[in-house]
Every structure is written in structure tokens, then in C-alpha cells.
Amino acid sequence: MTNRRYYPTNKELAFVWLNNDISIEFFLLTDFLESTAGLLVKETKRLKEEMKQQKLKYRNDRESLYQIDEYYSEGLARHGEAFKAILYNTTFVSAVSLFEYLLKKVCQFYYKEHTLTVEDIRANGNIATYRKYIEKVVKIDLSHLDDQWKLIEKYNAVRNAVVHDDANINPKNKPNLTGQDGYVFLSKSPYIKFERAGSGKFKIIDPKFIADFIALAEKYFDGLTEKLEVQLIESLTEDKKVVKKKVVKKKKK
């Protein structure tokens, strides 16, 4: 007796593609972050070493030493806070935007099975809308991911501050920041630097802030896709039962 070869259904193939796409997108972003952050570190070290060598070479020339300090200080400042702020802020925005895009992609995966699209759902912001669609329309219980979601919302608020208010969580210059959620969240992070005490203007000074969000986003999608996989298996089992019933009916005829 020969074994029948199993061919995956379109549902299974689409789910595998979606799951792989999520993993690949986060992997590429992480690789980009590590590579570019590493380049800044290497260039900073190179400048410091070059500055040291030049100072040794002209150690008896006061004017040259002054010019060396001025020249390399400017380069170090660029590759320090200036370039880091641009790189880390933009990469962080990309990371949160990627999470939003992939969450929408999950919704789009189910459009053909439901009459409603995300445009028919109302919630406070895009990611909240996509989550609501997955819960209410796709019928996936995400309550086990609530703690992760609350943290994701905090990161999303930071993303909005970067995009819409030039990395300022206090654009209206409110006098007391201590009770504001965004300030409390950022002030606890060792990877964030405020311009001055009581200011809402901030910089991401360490790529670990972004890496932590990516890890959180991946963990959230792991929890989500596990639930989607269970639903898919149940759906395929039901489909097989329906097909079997149709075959039995035909044989009886």
C-alpha cells in the first residue's frame, strides 16, 4: 500500500508565508541596527586613535594641538550624539512602523474570509484598530498578551512623539512632567537622554532601546501566530469533515 503524498492547502501555504515574512522582516531590521550602530562605534574609535596619534606627532606644537582638538572634536561630536540621534530615532520609528505594518498584514490575510476590513473598525490609532480587528473579526483571544500590548502602546507613544513632535513628549510645555505616562516610561530607561531636567525633548542614546522593542514585537507576534495556527488547524479539520460528508453523500447516490 503506497502512502498518499500530502499537499498543503492554500490556507496553510499563506499562513507559512505570513509567518516567515514576519520573522524575516524583524531579522533584517535587527541586522541593520547592529551593523549601522557598529559602524558608528568603529568610526568613533578610529577618530579617537587618529587624534591620539596626531597629538603625539605634534605634541610640541601648541597651534597644531589646538587645531587637532578642534578638528577631531567636531568629528567625534558628529559620530557621537548627532549621528546616533538621527540613526536611533529613525530606526526606532521604522521598528514601530514595521510592527504596525505586519499587524495590518495579518488583518489583510483574513480579508477574503470576512466581509469586514480594518476600514470598518474604529479604535484609537492604527495598531489598536488592527488588534481590535483580529480580536473581534478574526475571533482570536489576545488577552494573554495584554501586558506586552500595554508596553507596545508606550513604545508607540514614543514613536508618535518622534514623528509628530520632533522627539518631544511635552510639546505644549506643560510645567509638571512627573505624572505624564510618556515621561515616566522614558525616564526609567537608561537608553534615553533628556536635553535638560524637566524638558520633554529626548534622544535615544543606545540601540538597546530599539533592540528591546524589536524583541517585544517578535514575542507578541509569536503569541499571536500560535493562536492563529491553532485556529487554522481547527479550520482545516472542519473543512475535511465537510469534504468527507460530501463524498459520503455522493457514494450513497
- pLDDT of 241 reads 55
Q: How far apart are CA 6 and CA 37, in angstroms?
A: 46
Identity at 198, one-letter amino acid code: G
Residue ranges per structural domain of the chain: 10-238
Instruction: Measure the CA–CA gap between 231 and 233, rounded to whole angstroms.
Output: 6
Mean pLDDT per block of 10 residues along the chain (253 residues) reads 55 79 92 92 91 92 91 84 88 96 89 81 88 92 95 94 90 74 88 84 93 96 91 74 50 54
Alpha-carbon span 228 to 102, nearest angstrom:
14
Question: Strand, coil or helix: what is 174?
Answer: coil
pTM of the full structure: 0.82
Burial class (CB in 10 A: 0-12, 13-18, 19+), 75: middle
Q: CA geometry: angle at 206 spanning 146 and 37, to 5°? A: 115
Residue 252 is predicted with a pLDDT of 54
Distance CA 183, CA 198 (A): 9
DSSP string, 57-110: HTTT-HHHHHHHHHHHHHHHHIIIIIHHHHHHHHHHHHHHHHHHHHHHHHHHHT
Residue 248 is predicted with a pLDDT of 46
Q: What DSSP character marks residue 168?
A: B
CA distance 134 to 226: 13
Give residue 240's pLDDT.
57
